[in-house]
């Protein structure tokens, strides 16, 4: 875990008999991840931005 990350673990079950091909698995996984992010943002849970430190050198 890095200083500017939020780690969320979501587990779900996929019946491989209903979705036998790997490209379908990848699409469903991507849809699940996008839906989780959208739900978090919808409920005012914002993902952190990167922290940038600026130093003035003499």
pLDDT at res. 54: 78
Domain ranges for the chain, please list them. 1-45
7-57: per-residue pLDDT in tens? 778 888 888 788 778 888 888 889 998 998 899 889 988 777 766 777 878
Confidence at 5, pLDDT banded by 50, 70, 90 = low
Separation CA 17–CA 24 (nearest Å): 12
């Amino acid at each position: 875990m890095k200083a500017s990350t939020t780690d969320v673990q979501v587990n779900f079950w996929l019946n491989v008999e209903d979705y036998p091909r790997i490209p379908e698995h990848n699409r469903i996984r991507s849809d699940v991840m996008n839906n989780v992010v959208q739900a978090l943002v919808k409920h005012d849970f914002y993902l952190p931005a990167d922290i940038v430190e600026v130093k003035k050198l003499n």
